[in-house]
């Protein structure tokens, strides 16, 4: 028997535009279309939602942990599911769990767990993001400098295996620490190569883009800044149209004026999309936790090492949307696209928009951006 439900809401964002007083039609866990309530077919069960809006499930491509666990500490598929579940409950129905710079052994373990998680269809899991270890130590941020290292043939072999067996793989690397041939090899195999934790010049970044790099990790942070005689990586991110860029919008990592400048400067086809850079504290009330044996302190909306270095972010995507529309002053549809369609497009996965036949993963957010309900494949989470 076919399950047909119409979700009626004050506003529905379809991935590109907002429909006022509309209905999302879902058939057997798949998106059908967005229509006026007057055009709901009679065979559909009608569910009326209160104020707020419906959106495609949020997408986060930089999630270091959640539910009290960092990805590098995961030992089973159940652990990966625990991390994903913490974010699904917060409206993020698609994410790429992210491994911060670690040993070759841990990296291999995480790749194997990721492949197993995908084979077992862990809800919300859409691939991996390896942030390091091939970074520039001078822009390491909270990464352990002792674990930063050059890329070897063995590394490339592992990454090619991961790219073949995962739905998606993002690797953040520093343009000045790897060769153009290495970037090209990864890119041609389907790896999304992102530049980050780097002191690279504009020209070094452009050469990396020519070789296949397609993104910049957490724009403005841990990278060479825009200067009047050397545009650096920030300048490359804003000037080179093919580069997309992740952005942490928590009021700590990037000033709102810098966000506005970036959005005004950036031209397509690359887009600026939201990331949380979330750590293990997401979905918990802990005030301290550990990263590679180093204690991280959670206070005032910030995560810091003992020396004051920022160590990830203490924010979720709905809170990022609230910040963008409130403090930064973006239109709701622009902010929502940065958390749905834009990261989905970068990843090349069928999500982020209400398109006929796609899985019905969506979220109901209140006018204050509080998460009211989350659905995956048409079923409430």
Show which residues are catalytic: 277
Contact present, 220 and 277 (Cβ < 8 Å): no
Contact present, 195 and 213 (Cβ < 8 Å): yes
Contact present, 162 and 132 (Cβ < 8 Å): no
Consecutive H or E run containing 31: strand 30-35
**CA separation for the pair 272, 68 (Å, rounded):** 29
**CA separation for the pair 219, 224 (Å, rounded):** 10
**CA separation for the pair 60, 121 (Å, rounded):** 17
Q: Sort strands 45-48 and 69-70 into parallel, antiparallel or unpaired.
A: unpaired
User: Exposed/middle/buried for 150, CB within 10 Å: 0-12, 13-18, 19+?
Assistant: exposed
The reply to whether omega before 184 is within 30° of 0 (cis) is: no
- HEC string of 236-304 equals HHHHCCCCEEEEECCCCCCCHHHHHHHHHHCCCCCCEEEECCECCCCCCCCCEEEECCEEEEEECCEEE
Which among 6, 33, 9 is positioned nearest to 21, based on CA atoms?
9
Contact present, 173 and 134 (Cβ < 8 Å): yes
Q: Tokens 């887009």 identify what position?
A: 271
Q: Sort strands 371-376 and 294-299 into parallel, antiparallel or unpaired.
A: unpaired
Which among 16, 24, 146, 98 is positioned nearest to 279, based on CA atoms?
98
């Amino acid at each position: 028997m076919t399950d047909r439900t119409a979700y009626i809401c004050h506003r529905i964002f379809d991935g590109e535009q907002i429909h006022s007083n509309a209905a999302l039609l879902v058939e057997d866990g798949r998106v059908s279309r967005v229509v006026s309530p007057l055009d709901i077919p009679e065979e559909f069960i009608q569910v009326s939602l209160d104020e707020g809006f419906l959106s495609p499930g949020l997408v986060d491509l930089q999630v270091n942990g959640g539910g009290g666990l960092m990805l590098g500490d995961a030992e089973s598929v159940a652990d990966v599911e625990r991390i994903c579940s913490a974010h699904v409950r917060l409206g993020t129905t698609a994410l790429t769990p992210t491994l911060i710079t670690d040993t070759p052994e841990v990296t291999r373990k995480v790749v194997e767990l990721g492949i197993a998680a995908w084979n077992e269809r862990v809800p919300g899991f859409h691939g991996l993001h390896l942030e390091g270890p091939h970074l520039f130590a001078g822009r390491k941020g909270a990464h352990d400098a002792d674990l930063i290292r050059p890329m070897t043939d063995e590394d490339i072999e592992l990454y090619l295996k991961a790219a073949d067996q995962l739905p998606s793989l993002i690797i953040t690397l520093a343009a000045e620490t790897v060769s153009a041939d290495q970037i090209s090899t990864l890119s041609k195999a389907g790896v999304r190569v992102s530049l980050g934790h780097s002191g690279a010049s504009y020209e070094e970044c452009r050469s990396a883009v020519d070789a296949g790099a397609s993104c910049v990790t957490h724009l403005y942070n841990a990278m060479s800044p825009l200067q009047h005689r050397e545009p650096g990586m920030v300048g490359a991110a804003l000037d080179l149209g093919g580069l997309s860029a992740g952005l942490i919008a928590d009021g700590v990592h990037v000033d709102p004026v810098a966000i506005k400048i970036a959005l005004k400067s950036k031209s397509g086809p690359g887009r600026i999309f939201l990331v949380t850079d979330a750590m293990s504290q997401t979905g918990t009330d802990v005030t301290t936790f550990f990263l590679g044996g180093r204690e991280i302190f959670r206070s005032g909306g910030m995560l810091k090492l003992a020396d004051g270095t920022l160590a990830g972010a203490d924010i979720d995507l709905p809170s990022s949307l609230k910040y963008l529309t409130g403090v930064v002053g973006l239109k709701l549809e622009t902010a929502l696209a940065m958390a749905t369609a834009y990261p989905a497009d970068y990843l090349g996965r069928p999500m982020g928009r209400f398109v006929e036949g796609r899985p019905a993963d969506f979220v109901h957010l209140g006018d204050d951006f509080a998460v009211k309900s989350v659905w995956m494949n048409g079923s409430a989470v």
